[in-house]
Chains A and B, each alone.
Chain A
Amino acid sequence: MIKVKNLTKYYGSRLAVDNISFNVAKGEIVGFLGPNAAGKTTTMRILTGFMMPTRGDVWVAGYDMLSHSLEARQHIGYFAEAVPLYTDMTVRSYLDFLARLRGLDKNRIKTRIGDVVGICHLEEYIDVLIGKLSKGFRQRVGVAQAIIHEPEVLILDEPTVGIDPIQVAMTRQLIKELGKEHTVLLSTHILPEVSMTCGRVIIIHEGRIAAEDSIENLASMIGGAKRIRLEVAGPSQQVAERLRQIKGVQRVSYQDSDYTVECAAGQDPRGQIMEAIVRSGWSLLSLESIEMSLEDIFLKLTTEEETNR
């Protein structure tokens, strides 16, 4: 449904997206994850036809975005990061206007306005000027316009920013449901959001793809890289030094008597750690192994990129 090949975008001389390629299959919900200025919005703006790439090819819904943008745009629903709305229109006239531009006929517009207003819980506000709505409700109007023409592909740029937790949960639930019938690319920097809604994640950092995989695979790709948290009674510096000597231990950090040990891929040196501490005459107060969260993966991927340079 979405195919991106060697996509590069410069703003003047500033490189925003650097030769990225990825695919999103029909019916997938893919998270598009990255820190600020990673190039998420830029990529999405190219996918939706708002901007042309500097280099590279993009296909959406089977159409080449460069040569058949108009046809492709017919099949795309887009929630833009800035939540663009005409504040001098009512919710109804706004939805009507955009549905018309997307080629829906009169009767269908009527039923679809009813549908999306129901889905997004906007019934009471349908004849209210958008300029008078609160931020959260504006957000809903933005979602409503994105789905009104039942597009095959949904591109959502940070749809849960700035709304209250109940609405965030609602929006995520909605995205999940939409994902049953639509293909969804969801950008965010909220990590739990991705693990909650998406089957797969593409992590982008400084315009390049840092990782791309299912959430479970991503965790194991980091090498099942385990972390172990310890509490040890003993001289901190010496304990840390001793821990670093253990085979399979990559990094040790500590604060007072709490130590975090990062292990190399596929290693589980818990036995050796216990033994070493006891042998040195210190006492092990606690030891637990922690799975890497998406957060950790994200940090690890994005910071490693930096140290590689």
Chain B
Amino acid sequence: MRNTITIAGKEFKSYLASPMAYIVTGIFLIATGFFFSISPATYTETSINGFLQAGVILLLLFAPLLTMRLLAEERKLGTIELLLTAPVRDSEIILGKFLGGLGILTVMLGLTLYYPLLLIIFGDPDMGPIGAGYLGLLLLGYTALAIGIFTSSLTSNQIVAAVVAIGILLALYFVGFAASFLPEALGEVIGYFSLSNYFPDFMRGIVDTRGIIYYLSITALFLFLAIRSLENSRWS
């Protein structure tokens, strides 16, 4: 646990020291701000759905840019040798990296809180969907981080890590839309595995336990795969 926090702290600091996190956050804020301000939902429903709809897609594209360096860079620079020879469990390394990324992502999403703040100042928004929407967005973001860490553990090339993660995320997201074209039973099963299946509920203010369990399971699964991939690298 102590080691996990040490690694998380180090990763969080190195995000603050490198331009990538600022660039990603900046573009994310500009883009979501744009969609928030042009979305009719903002004015007719005083909801943040305009932000959320854009935020989901942007997270899928941007979270991997935050995670791509976490392990790939260590491999490239050889610093992975420091971590893997320190008296630290492979799971602590992965969890530490995950928590570091989670920290920066949470800060990034925290900065968007001024959208609901604007609504509160100038209107009377329904807080349920806002809270649930943020919960959904965080969960989805953490899932994306876990997938990004997994792909970063597979290669020493950061670009490859990011592109593969974005590929997996988009596939998991859009497979839900494809599901409606399939026979009902099959479509339902596939829909169950889709990242997009649960998000509309959160936007409507419904905190569905199945959705929470789904996001947490996918996150856990990919963190587990990342730990296995790190372990495997010792045997290659």
Contact = CB atoms under 8 A, between A and B. Distances in A.
Interface of A: 11, 45, 48-52, 70-71, 73-74, 76, 78, 80, 82, 84-89, 93, 97-98, 100-103, 145
A123 B212 CA distance: 51
Interface stretch (B45-53, B54-62, B74-82, B160-168): B74-82
A192 to B, nearest CB: 28
B77 to A, nearest CB: 6
A11 B87 contact: no
B87 A84 contact: no
Given A11-B236, A101-B86, 13 more contacts: A49-B84, A50-B85, A52-B234, A71-B87, A74-B87, A84-B78, A84-B82, A86-B14, A86-B77, A97-B6, A101-B3, A101-B6, A103-B87
Contact of A98 (B17, B86, B235): B86
A98 B82 contact: yes
A80 B78 contact: yes
27 contacts: A11-B236, A48-B85, A49-B85, A50-B81, A50-B85, A52-B234, A70-B87, A70-B88, A71-B87, A73-B85, A73-B87, A74-B87, A76-B85, A78-B85, A82-B78, A84-B79, A84-B80, A84-B81, A84-B82, A85-B79, A87-B77, A88-B14, A89-B10, A97-B6, A101-B7, A101-B83, A103-B87
A270 to B, nearest CB: 52
A49 B230 CA distance: 13
Contacts of A71: 87
A246 B110 CA distance: 90
Contacts of A101: 3, 6-7, 83, 86-88
B82 to A, nearest CB: 5
Nearest to B92: A101
Interface in B192-236: 234-236
A166 B68 CA distance: 41
Contacts of A100: 2-3, 6
Contact of A70 (B14, B83, B89): B89
B44 interface: no
B235 A52 contact: yes
Contacts of A88: 14, 17-18
Contact of B84 (A50, A85, A86): A50
Interface of B: 2-3, 6-7, 10, 13-14, 17-18, 77-89, 234-236
Enumerate the 6 nearest inter-chain pairs by beta-carbon distance, A residue then B residue, closest first: A82-B78, A84-B78, A84-B79, A73-B87, A101-B86, A74-B87
A87 B74 CA distance: 11
A144 to B, nearest CB: 13
Instruction: From A85, A101, A102, A145, name the one whose CB has the most chain B CB atoms within 10 angstroms.
Output: A101
Contacts of B235: 51-52
A50 B234 contact: yes
Contact of A73 (B7, B10, B86): B86
Contacts of A74: 87
B12 to A, nearest CB: 12
Contacts of A93: 13
Contacts of A85: 79
A93 B77 CA distance: 18
Contact of A51 (B2, B77, B234): B234
Contacts of B80: 84
Contacts of B3: 100-101
A70 B93 CA distance: 13
Nearest to A157: B81
Contacts of A51: 234-236
Contacts of A73: 85-87
B81 A80 contact: yes
A263 B83 CA distance: 51
Contacts of B10: 89, 97
Contacts of B79: 84-86
Contacts of A84: 77-82
B93 to A, nearest CB: 10
Nearest to A46: B234
A73 B78 CA distance: 18
Nearest to A71: B87
Contacts of B81: 45, 50, 78, 80, 82, 84
Contacts of A102: 86-87
A51 B235 CA distance: 6
A145 B83 CA distance: 12
A73 B77 CA distance: 21
Nearest to B85: A48
Nearest to B77: A84
A273 B82 CA distance: 58
A44 to B, nearest CB: 10
A113 B151 CA distance: 35
Nearest to A51: B234
